[in-house]
């Protein structure tokens, strides 16, 4: 689903964010991307989302080389990727319905389709009753779930989540992860970047670990990871 081949990213100014990274996320797989701040997690996700381009090497999604996607094609390619952000990035001046409907409006769906799909996506994250609420009336966990609903509303085959539980307490984090697991069970590939090791420890999922821009661990579960790889999470 996502394949990196010798990907190096050096930002203007000389900061090397990724150094010859190779990995492969299988279709329909759910995996974690870990590493402490500055290890290159965000850069890796940005390369997948085409917000940045690699300095060298190649990124493939579903066999398509992203280097060959032109600037004009980027918006269309992004419609195949659902993205979830730590700070949810909802538009606070629009209702939950309008936020979740955004990807469908952009693609020009009929209103009847939009209504049906938004209701379906909100139902999946358990927030159908809040469809007409404004975001500022929702809790942090609910906002994050609205963000997930927006990411899945047009049924993308790939989901990227950057620290989706970063602002949530452990109980809510487990709830959010349950949503990802449900989505994964119907065939959506999910990649979750997180430094919340406690979260990963409970689950047996493929884990990619970055340190200083290099992929140092690519294996199942995190049980064999030494805690010393990470700085304490504050």
Partner 1 sequence: MSLLFSQRKSHGASNTNPGHRLVMYFIRHLQQALASVGELWRMPISSLLTMAVLGVSLALPTTLHLLMKNGQQLRGSWDSAAEITLFVKEGISDSQTQKVLRRIGLYEQVNDVTYVAAEQALEEFKTLSGFGDALSYLDENPLPSVILVVPSLQYSSPEGARELLEKLQRQPEISFGKLDVTWLEKLTAIVNLLEDAALGLGVLLLLAVALVIANTIRLSILNRREEIEVLKLVGATNDFIRRPFLYTGIWYGLIGGLIAWVCVSLILWWVEGALLDLASQLGSELTLSGLNISEFLILIALSTGLGWLGAYGSVMRHVYEIEPENQL
Which residues are at the interface with partner 1 (CB under 8 A)?
Answer: 42, 45-46, 49, 51-52, 61-62, 64, 69, 72-73, 75-80, 83, 85, 87, 89-91, 102-104, 106-110, 113, 150, 154-155, 157, 162
Q: Which is nearer to partner 1, 62 or 185 (CB)?
A: 62
**Structure token pair of residue 38:** 């500055």
Q: Which is nearer to partner 1, 155 or 217 (CB)?
A: 155
Q: Which is nearer to partner 1, 73 or 139 (CB)?
A: 73
Instruction: State the minimum distance, in angstroms, from the CB of residue 129 to partner 1.
Output: 24
- Sheet-wide strand order for 81-84: 81-84, 158-162, 189-193, 30-34, 206-211, 214-220
Instruction: State the minimum distance, in angstroms, from the CB of residue 193 to partner 1.
Output: 9
Instruction: State the minimum distance, in angstroms, from the CB of residue 204 to partner 1.
Output: 27
Q: Which is nearer to partner 1, 52 or 229 (CB)?
A: 52
C-alpha 232/C-alpha 153 separation (Å) is 36
Whose tokens are 């269309």? That residue is: 76
DSSP string over 187-207: T-EEEEE---HHHHHTS--EE
Instruction: State the minimum distance, in angstroms, from the CB of residue 220 to partner 1.
Output: 26
Asked if residues 158 and 1 have their Cβ atoms less than 8 Å apart, the reply is: yes
Angle at 189 between CA 186 and CA 194, to 5 degrees: 120
Instruction: State the minimum distance, in angstroms, from the CB of residue 77 to partner 1.
Output: 5
């Amino acid at each position: 689903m996502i394949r990196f081949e010798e990907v190096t990213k050096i930002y203007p100014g000389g900061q090397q964010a990724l150094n010859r990274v190779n990995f492969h996320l299988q279709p329909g797989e759910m995996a974690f991307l870990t590493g402490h701040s500055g290890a290159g997690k965000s850069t890796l996700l940005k390369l997948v989302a085409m917000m940045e381009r690699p300095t060298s090497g190649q990124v493939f999604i579903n066999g398509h080389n992203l280097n060959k996607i032109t600037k004009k094609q980027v918006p269309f390619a992004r419609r195949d990727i659902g993205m979830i952000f730590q700070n949810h990035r909802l538009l606070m001046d629009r209702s939950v319905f309008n936020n979740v409907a955004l990807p469908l409006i952009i693609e020009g769906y009929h209103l009847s389709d939009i209504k049906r799909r938004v209701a379906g996506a909100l139902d999946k994250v358990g927030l159908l009753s809040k469809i007409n609420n404004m975001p500022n009336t929702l809790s942090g966990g609910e906002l994050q779930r609205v963000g997930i609903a927006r990411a899945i509303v047009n049924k993308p085959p790939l989901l990227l989540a950057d620290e989706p539980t970063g602002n949530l307490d452990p109980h809510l984090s487990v709830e959010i992860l349950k949503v990802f697991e449900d989505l994964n069970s119907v065939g959506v590939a999910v990649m979750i970047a997180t430094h919340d090791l406690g979260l990963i420890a409970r689950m047996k999922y493929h884990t990619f670990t970055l340190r200083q821009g290099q992929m140092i661990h690519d294996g199942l579960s995190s049980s064999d990871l030494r805690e010393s790889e990470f700085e304490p999470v504050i």
